[in-house]
Amino acid sequence: MTLPGPNPIVRNLDSTGAISVQVPPLKSGKGPREILFFAIASEIAKTRSIFLLLDENLTISQVRALLISAFPPLEPLLPCCALAVDGVIARDFDLLGPASTIAVLPPVSGG
């Protein structure tokens, strides 16, 4: 994938499109987290899921900012999206912790 211009917290990992996000200093362990995109978020991100290396001490608010860094076109949408961590809606000040999946959920429109 094509990443935005110079950005100290984003770098390409390999040619498969996987990207790594690092936020120095890393105070504790980090691991691959699957980021899931749905509906319009998936169309804008041009992917259904990616894996990011994210520090467990990140807050959800920081994760949101990192996602905007990695996917600038998501910037207008992300403030309106909920983030679900392992299937549970997270608040902005919650810590990411050891979660394995983060879902980007636009405002719902079922029914």
Partner 1 sequence: MAKLLREPLEGFEAQFATPDPACGARVMFTGLVREDTNGATTCALEYDAYEPMAIKAMEDIEAEALKLFGIRRALVIHRVGHVLVGQIGVLALVESGHRKQAFAACEWLMNEVKKRVPIWKKDIGPNGEIWQHPLSGSLNPQSPGSP
Question: Would you tell me which residues interact with partner 1 (CB under 8 A)?
Answer: 36, 38-40, 42-43, 76-77, 80, 84, 87, 103, 105-111
Question: Least Å distance between CB 8 and partner 1?
Answer: 29
Closest contact distance (angstroms) between CB of 105 and partner 1 is 5
Rounded to whole angstroms, the Cα distance separating 87 from 73 reads 25
Compute the C-alpha angle 30/12/7, nearest 5°.
85
Q: How many CB atoms lie within 10 A of CB 67?
A: 24
User: d(Cα 7, Cα 57) in Å, to the nearest integer?
Assistant: 21
Nearer to partner 1, 10 or 104 (CB): 104
Element (DSSP H or E) covering residue 67: helix 60-70
Looking at the Cβ atoms of 24 and 110, the one nearer to partner 1 is 110
Nearer to partner 1, 75 or 92 (CB): 75
Please give the structure tokens belonging to residue 57: 């001490």
Q: Could you tell me the smallest distance in angstroms from the CB atom of residue 89 to partner 1?
A: 9
Residue 53 vs 105, nearer CB to partner 1: 105
